[in-house]
Structure 1
Amino acid sequence: MGTPADPFPLDRATVHLCIDMQRLFAEETPWQVPWLPRVLPCVLEIARRHAGRTVFTRFVPPESPADAVGAWRDYYEHWSELTRGRIAPRLLELVDPLAALVPPARVLDKPANSAFSRPTLARGLRARGVTTLVITGGETDVCVLATVTAAVDLGFRIVLPTDALCSTRDGTHDALIKLYRERFSLQIEATTTDDVLRRWND
């Protein structure tokens, strides 16, 4: 809705929110995202330059399907081999190049797709005066999608370096980038990692 907006300011009111760049999605598991290694250098460069303003999320499944509620219980009955009781704990860790940035970067564990499923995130960002989020990671059409739509509803400006996003599905990744550009251009800016690095100097 609306016409394309001017580029959003990238300054001290900006935080890099990196979604679920974990071993669980990088290694040979049923949830492996083949694109992840391809976008990792872009994610790493943004995080490295702004480590103190980076929050890494980790998707943390329940111990067992019985510990989930509602449709999540159905979900984990299907994916029971990926609950915490059955996977190696190391799979929940960030991939190595990103893990080395913590601290000063911070880690937020979440039980659902959206980073904002943890209410402390929005409160913490507001307390820091954050108005703009650079969002990277995966998957474009699952956890990134849920985080972006929640952030829009909360009033954050969103900057998406599209070459720092990954998915298992090319078609839905491309469709979402098109959707953001054509329908959410006043709230979401789709750009490149190079552009973010050039503009975000503070």
Structure 2
Amino acid sequence: MSDKHKLRYGPLSERSLHLCVDMQRMFAEDTDWKTPWMARVLPKVVQITEAHPDSTIFTRFIPATRPGEGEGTWKRYYERWSSMTIEQLGQDMIDLMPDLRRFVPPAEVIDKHVYSPWVETDLQERLKRRGVDTLVITGGETDVCVLATVLGAVDRGYRVIVGHDALCSSSDETHDASLEVYHSRYGMQVEAVTTDVILQHWAAAKVTA
């Protein structure tokens, strides 16, 4: 496992941005997609957001409106997970957890309908406008939407810092495996460290739009 107490490539710069993945009520509350330890990592995510609210973008996963909607295998997906459609959940459940919602604005929100925030959104354009070169990634789930976010960031050449104590999953086994993959297979592009290390080494200067 990577050294969680050290940033391999030096401090974060003023061109860094916090990308928080899918910390939403529908994953935190009593639903079929509840991530049991999301509440446990929430204080760490709040710490990073509170320190850099104007350099934070939250993503939200937006499920289908009703069962059977979606293209290709997503249609089958929402037939299986009909309880997690907006029609069944209610619109309010797709919102951010209240402890994070209070930071918007200045923090921004991007909605997506698939695991990756790089598809069907203007995320890349927003980051280019800000001159971002480094992404601090937190949220859930480590082995699903966070994984898609990390790999998309790597493909686009960003330095990626994952706050390993600010990530959560429904599966301890695949959470741990994902962190090991970041270290063993993406060591040149992904650094997994603690929230305290991130906050200690993030430059005071902020990225502004």
- Scaled to the shorter chain, the TM-score interval is over 0.9
* Structure 2, unpaired ranges of 5+: 1-6, 205-209
**Partner of 1:80 in structure 2?**
82
What SS is found at the alignment partner of 1:104? coil
Q: How many Å apart are 1:128 and its aligned residue? A: 1.3
Instruction: Single out whichever of 62-71 and 23-32 deviates more from structure 2.
Output: 62-71
**Partner of 2:195 in structure 1?**
193
Q: Is the 8 A contact 2:32 2:83 kept in 1?
A: no
**Partner of 2:36 in structure 1?**
34
**Distance (whole Å) between structure 2 residues aligned to residue 182 and residue 80 of structure 1:** 37
Q: How many Å apart are 1:115 and its aligned residue? A: 1.3
The one of 153, 156, 170 aligned to 2:155: 153
Instruction: Single out whichever of 60-69 and 159-168 deviates more from structure 2.
Output: 60-69
**Partner of 2:3 in structure 1?**
none
Number of matched residues? 199
Cα RMSD after superposing both structures: 1.4
**Distance (whole Å) between structure 1 residues aligned to residue 53 and residue 119 of structure 2:** 23
Q: How many Å apart are 1:6 and its aligned residue? A: 2.9
Sequence identity (%): 48
Q: Is the 8 A contact 2:111 2:121 kept in 1?
A: no
Q: Is the 8 A contact 2:69 2:78 kept in 1?
A: no
**Distance (whole Å) between structure 2 residues aligned to residue 142 and residue 11 of structure 1:** 28
* Correspondences of 1:5-44 after superposition (within 5 Å): 6-44=8-46
* Correspondences of 1:37-186 after superposition (within 5 Å): 37-186=39-188
Amino acid at match of 1:134: V
Q: Is the 8 A contact 1:138 1:167 kept in 2?
A: yes
What SS is found at the alignment partner of 1:164? strand
Q: Is the 8 A contact 1:8 1:157 kept in 2?
A: no
Alignment TM-score, normalising by the size of structure 2 = 0.91
**Distance (whole Å) between structure 2 residues aligned to residue 8 and residue 23 of structure 1:** 35
**Distance (whole Å) between structure 1 residues aligned to residue 167 and residue 8 of structure 2:** 22
Alignment TM-score, normalising by the size of structure 1 = 0.94
What SS is found at the alignment partner of 2:191? strand
Q: Deviations over 1:134-173 (max 9, x none)?
A: 0000000000001111111111110001000000100000
Q: Is the 8 A contact 1:135 1:160 kept in 2?
A: yes
Q: How many Å apart are 1:8 and its aligned residue? A: 4.7
**Distance (whole Å) between structure 2 residues aligned to residue 67 and residue 37 of structure 1:** 30
Q: How many Å apart are 1:7 and its aligned residue? A: 2.5
What SS is found at the alignment partner of 2:87? coil
Q: Deviations over 1:44-96 (max 9, x none)?
A: 00001100000011110121244310011111110011111221211111111
Amino acid at match of 1:69: E
Amino acid at match of 2:95: E
* Structure 1, unpaired ranges of 5+: none
Higher normalized helix content (fraction of residues): 1
Instruction: Single out whichever of 148-157 and 5-14 deviates more from structure 2.
Output: 5-14
**Distance (whole Å) between structure 2 residues aligned to residue 183 and residue 112 of structure 1:** 24
